[in-house]
Structure 1
């Protein structure tokens, strides 16, 4: 698919548009990203984000969903569009523009199955990312910064936790995403003051240490609070 982009003096030929998806997951202790190792083509054997070509008859949103399903069998995943990455040197000898997407999921909710077009689909810790194809390291870094900003402004981090969690698990999640160390008592006081969590009459099971109280995030309370002008700011 060749696309011509008009400028003031000339037209620039674009060989095609691709979609690249950054899938963040939280594995109890670590923030991770899902990567695939290519099994064919010019990038065979190399690691990259989940990506593919935008087809003529589909929107970028539809393409992102299709690509995720084709590569990993993941279906109906909420994806947020980041931006277009347009550096003319991002792909050697071709002019390819890519549209980036990202999402956050709870790893335990999905069974990842790598397709035949990739050797492996594997979770990598965010601090242990290999050298990726094209500009995928740059796209991943942009996504992480975007995530860090978003998690301070909206309670989207709860998507990475099980339905029932401890305050310590929640704090560790924020530490992983933001890359900082938080003070336990201050975090506890601030998060409970928001009144977004429902304390349960349950505690952790099968743990070697003292069992901690479990909480859950109440989306309905959050919705009602925002209608009254509540501003989530962490």
Structure 2
């Protein structure tokens, strides 16, 4: 979408920071990862950037974020949350305001959706996943955008069930602790973590156990009465318009 001031066009773009947990082959500990797109034209040709594109006149911001994300990566998260609007005058050679969304996906969802995109013959060759702690040189102000998304994620994990976005419907306490450790970037004491989550009333124990080489571990699920994230009073209005 393009708007015009007296002497300059202002274009509106959307971008998405989509995060998942990936377990490295030699390290038995998950870490945050995200997809980037290699730019094939100027500005910043040859640099990596977040998935995104232009806002069309007839679509909402969230629809534009979902569309551009799927077109560039093949991913379709069930939940998108608006992160921030980035509009510094010098962030692009032309004046561009970027509305940034973020989303969380389980690793199995990423693998399944990516495989379907490849099978469709539409998967681009310029998309690659990177560890969030080891990003390459990025175009525009996308390093700042990702830093802000990670900061928001680490803050939200303390008061919301945002870590659920990385986990299947049922999970062990060790699964949940590893998700927290990946988000926070530090190890947590297993005993203290267990006490905290078991007294938080956000988890419900199931009658199922995961068996394997270690002793059986009970599976838990989140209390569905608690929302993944509080979207505020505007969420009610959004539901009315859909």
Of stretches 24-33 and 97-106 in structure 1, the one that deviates more from structure 2 is 24-33
Question: Is 1:144 the equivalent of 2:150?
Answer: yes
Contact 1:37–1:118 (8 Å) recurs in 2:
no
Moved >6 Å (runs of 4+): none
Q: Matches of residues 108-123 of structure 1 in structure 2 within 5 Å?
A: 108-110=108-110, 111-112=113-114, 113=117, 118-123=124-129
- Once superposed, what is the RMSD of the aligned Cα atoms? 2.4
Distance between the aligned counterparts of 1:192 and 1:82, measured in 2?
30
Distance between the aligned counterparts of 1:171 and 1:117, measured in 2?
34
Contact 1:47–1:130 (8 Å) recurs in 2:
yes
Structure 2 length normalisation: TM-score?
0.79
Distance between the aligned counterparts of 1:96 and 1:146, measured in 2?
23
Query: Residue 23 of structure 1 corresponds to which residue in structure 2?
Result: 18
Query: Residue 101 of structure 1 corresponds to which residue in structure 2?
Result: 101
| 1:195 CA drift (Å) | 2.4
Q: Matches of residues 77-88 of structure 1 in structure 2 within 5 Å?
A: 77-88=78-89
| 1:176 CA drift (Å) | 1.2
Query: Residue 217 of structure 2 corresponds to which residue in structure 1?
Result: 212
Instruction: Give CA-to-partner distance per residue, 1:59-110, whole Å, 9 cap, x none.
Output: 211211111121123336311111210111111x311111111011112123
Query: Residue 49 of structure 2 corresponds to which residue in structure 1?
Result: 48
| 1:44 CA drift (Å) | 4.1
Question: Is 1:32 the equivalent of 2:33?
Answer: yes
Question: Is 1:171 the equivalent of 2:177?
Answer: yes
Aligned partner of residue 97 in structure 1, secondary structure: strand
- Gaps of at least 5 residues in structure 2 are 24-29, 231-242
Query: Residue 232 of structure 1 corresponds to which residue in structure 2?
Result: none
1:161 alignment partner, one of 151, 156, 167: 167
| 1:123 CA drift (Å) | 2.4
**How many pairs align?**
215
Contact 1:25–1:34 (8 Å) recurs in 2:
no
| 1:26 CA drift (Å) | 1.7
| 1:128 CA drift (Å) | 1.5
Structure 1 length normalisation: TM-score?
0.82
Contact 2:77–2:104 (8 Å) recurs in 1:
no
Question: Is 1:62 the equivalent of 2:67?
Answer: no
Aligned partner of residue 126 in structure 2, secondary structure: strand
Distance between the aligned counterparts of 2:216 and 2:46, measured in 1?
45
- Gaps of at least 5 residues in structure 1 are 6-10, 227-234
